[in-house]
């Protein structure tokens, strides 16, 4: 699709003073299953284009999808409206600095092999006590091309695989495990199936209780930690949010102690084997692994050229996606491991008395600047006493503030793994478990 990127630039060069386009072609593959049977085996090809245009200090950005004809037509419409836009106080000239080295490799998809992986995962879950499983294996092979009106062009090829399995026992008990990888053959879906069933089984036979609203010691899985840190990083460390007052942090907060000294969180945009990483961003700049919190200290915000110019620093290469031309965003959340056990039984002993939340979804906010949110527990929720599960609970939420997530960490597991699923905002590499001394839970 480099021809489309070049065609767009030829078309737009005369309409705008500056133009940059990023065209992505994706081959997508998906196997879904439910009740131990495959429900969908599908493949399709998609085309997306991000377009940046500037005329004087007037700027327009947009993302388009559809056929190449649709994309060309929509880009032209955007260019023709450019004179109507107000001047942009964040305008900076295009200045791409080129890509990082990148493997540019992707394994071709083999449907039969992938179906075997799904079947093995279902069987592994059954062997561990699941009565039925649902899940998905998705794989994408993508070619991404950048071109601009200064004559620069660059390309890369990558892949992304996500495998998720949710094991059910009866109607009430369920647990999910989800893995992400560059290679669908390396997802470990079979192990994920066994792991999900084992966790669901931990609640089997436990009496159901209702948790009263209040503060509890909480052990959460990496699925929950990765999900929540994705929201924290995107909301509070995007430099546009810092500049516009949407983030709690201001430019002078860099260097302050903002989190537990146990907490180190990176945006892993450069690490090649992390799903989402890339050799260059939508401004044509090299990406980085950017520390946001390092041992609790706020180290950096995520920048594109525009925000970096405002704060007198260099871009971190976080113009991620068409929206990244205006608001920098992370690509892969990396939470550094700690020294707590990764095994659930051992970590429950560490928890002592409290609540284990295995998975979550439906995170919503009252106030992003204050970080006031709630998220709904999903899958098994164990009420733990004396280091062992005593009850199971339903309808439990974490109703908290970002600050509590950042400052309240007491321990993190030794092992971290790459995860992603349908309701996680970003792929993440997160410790298997995280222990919090006190989090507010609500019904």
Residue 334 or residue 427: which is nearer to another protein going by CB? Answer: 427
Strand order in the sheet with 132-148: 58-65, 37-55, 18-34, 132-148, 153-169, 173-181
Residue 347 CB, nearest distance to another protein (Å)? 24
Q: How many CA atoms lie within 13 A of 370 on its CB side?
A: 9
Residue 42 lies near another protein (rule: CB under 8 A)? yes
Query: What are the respective helix, strand and coil percentages of the chain, to the nearest 5?
Result: 25, 40, 35
Interface mask (CB under 8 A) for another protein, residues 380-399, using x and -? --------------xx-x--
Among 362, 385, 386, 388, binds another protein (CB under 8 A): 362
Residue 12 or residue 211: which is nearer to another protein going by CB? Answer: 211
Give the whole-angstrom CA distance, residue 87 versus residue 93.
13
Among 2, 11, 30, 297, binds another protein (CB under 8 A): 30
Classify residue 184 by its DSSP letter: G
Q: State the number of binding residues for another protein (CB under 8 A).
A: 43
Choose one: 91-99, 148-156, 162-170, 337-345; the region binding another protein (CB under 8 A).
162-170
Residue 170 lies near another protein (rule: CB under 8 A)? no
Of the candidates 128, 416, 141, the one whose C-alpha atom is nearest the C-alpha of residue 266 is 416
Of the candidates 302, 268, 278, 316, the one whose C-alpha atom is nearest the C-alpha of residue 416 is 268
Residue 38 lies near another protein (rule: CB under 8 A)? no
Residue 111 lies near another protein (rule: CB under 8 A)? no
Residue 215 lies near another protein (rule: CB under 8 A)? no
Residue 198 lies near another protein (rule: CB under 8 A)? no
Residue 155 lies near another protein (rule: CB under 8 A)? no
Classify residue 415 by its DSSP letter: -
Q: Where are the alpha helices (DSSP H) in 130-288?
A: 189-201, 222-236, 239-244
Residue 363 CB, nearest distance to another protein (Å)? 7
Choose one: 17-25, 131-139, 277-285, 345-353; the region binding another protein (CB under 8 A).
131-139
Instruction: Judge whether 91 and 306 are in contact, CB under 8 Å.
Output: yes
Choose one: 4-12, 277-285, 357-365, 425-433; the region binding another protein (CB under 8 A).
357-365
Residue 363 lies near another protein (rule: CB under 8 A)? yes
Give the whole-angstrom CA distance, residue 91 versus residue 326.
10
Residue 102 or residue 373: which is nearer to another protein going by CB? Answer: 373
Residue 166 or residue 274: which is nearer to another protein going by CB? Answer: 166
Choose one: 48-56, 118-126, 166-174, 408-416; the region binding another protein (CB under 8 A).
166-174
Of the candidates 352, 148, 163, the one whose C-alpha atom is nearest the C-alpha of residue 275 is 163
Residue 36 CB, nearest distance to another protein (Å)? 10
Look up tokens 């079979």; give the residue: 190
H/E stretch holding 18 reads strand 18-34
Give the whole-angstrom CA distance, residue 39 versus residue 44.
16
Residue 378 lies near another protein (rule: CB under 8 A)? yes
Residue 349 phi, psi (nearest 5): -65, -40
Q: What are the beta bridge partners of residue 49?
A: 23, 64
Interface mask (CB under 8 A) for another protein, residues 403-442, using x and -? ------------------xxx------------------x
Residue 355 CB, nearest distance to another protein (Å)? 15
Look up tokens 């649902």; give the residue: 134
Residue 375 lies near another protein (rule: CB under 8 A)? yes
Distances in Å between the alpha carbon of 157 and those of 81, 181, 275? 33, 15, 12
Residue 377 lies near another protein (rule: CB under 8 A)? yes
Neighbours of 270 (CB within 10 A): 21
Among 99, 135, 291, 338, binds another protein (CB under 8 A): 135
Neighbours of 94 (CB within 10 A): 17
Residue 376 CB, nearest distance to another protein (Å)? 5
Residue 24 lies near another protein (rule: CB under 8 A)? no
The contact set with another protein (CB under 8 A) reads 28, 30, 32, 34-35, 39-40, 42, 44, 132, 134-136, 138, 164-166, 168, 171, 174, 176, 213, 361-366, 372-378, 394-395, 397, 421-423, 442-443
């Amino acid at each position: 699709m480099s021809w489309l990127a070049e065609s767009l630039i030829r078309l737009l060069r005369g309409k705008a003073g500056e133009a940059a386009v990023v065209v992505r072609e994706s081959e997508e593959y998906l196997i879904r299953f439910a009740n131990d049977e495959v429900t969908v085996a599908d493949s399709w090809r998609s085309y997306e284009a991000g377009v940046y245009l500037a005329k004087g200090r007037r700027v327009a950005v947009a993302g388009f999808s559809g056929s190449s004809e649709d994309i060309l037509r929509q880009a032209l419409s955007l260019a023709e409206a450019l004179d109507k836009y107000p001047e942009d106080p964040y305008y900076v000239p295009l200045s791409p600095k080129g890509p990082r080295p990148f493997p540019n490799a992707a394994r071709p998809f083999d449907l039969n092999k992938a179906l075997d992986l799904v079947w093995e995962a279902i069987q592994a879950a059954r062997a561990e006590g699941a009565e039925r499983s649902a899940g998905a294996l998705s794989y994408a092979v993508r070619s991404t091309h950048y071109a601009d009106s200064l004559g620069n062009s660059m390309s890369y090829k990558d892949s992304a695989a996500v495998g998720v399995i949710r094991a059910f026992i009866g109607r009430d008990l369920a647990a999910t495990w989800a893995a992400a990888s560059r290679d669908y053959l390396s997802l470990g879906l079979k192990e994920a199936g066994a792991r999900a069933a084992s966790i669901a089984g931990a609640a089997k036979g436990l009496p159901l209780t209702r948790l009263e609203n209040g503060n509890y010691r909480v052990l959460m899985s990496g699925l929950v930690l990765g999900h929540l840190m994705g929201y924290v990083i995107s909301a509070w460390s995007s430099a546009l949010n810092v500049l516009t007052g949407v983030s709690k942090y201001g430019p002078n907060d860099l260097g302050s102690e903002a989190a537990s000294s146990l907490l180190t969180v990176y945006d892993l945009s450069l690490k090649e084997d992390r799903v989402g990483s890339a050799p260059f961003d939508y401004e044509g700049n090299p990406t980085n692994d950017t520390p946001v919190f390092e041992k609790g200290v706020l180290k950096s915000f995520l920048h594109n050229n525009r925000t970096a110019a405002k704060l007198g620093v260099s871009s971190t290469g976080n113009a991620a996606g068409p929206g990244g031309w205006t608001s920098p965003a992370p690509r892969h959340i990396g939470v550094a491991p700690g020294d707590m056990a990764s095994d659930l039984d051992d970590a429950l002993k560490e928890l002592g008395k409290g609540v284990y939340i295995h998975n979550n979804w439906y995170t919503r906010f009252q106030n992003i600047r204050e970080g006031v949110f709630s998220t709904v527990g999903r899958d098994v929720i164990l009420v733990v006493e004396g280091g062992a599960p005593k009850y199971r609970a339903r309808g439990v939420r974490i109703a908290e503030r970002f600050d509590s997530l950042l400052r309240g960490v007491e321990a993190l597991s030794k092992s971290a793994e790459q995860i992603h699923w349908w309701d996680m905002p970003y792929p993440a590499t997160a410790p298997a478990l995280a222990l919090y001394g006190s989090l507010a839970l609500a019904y």
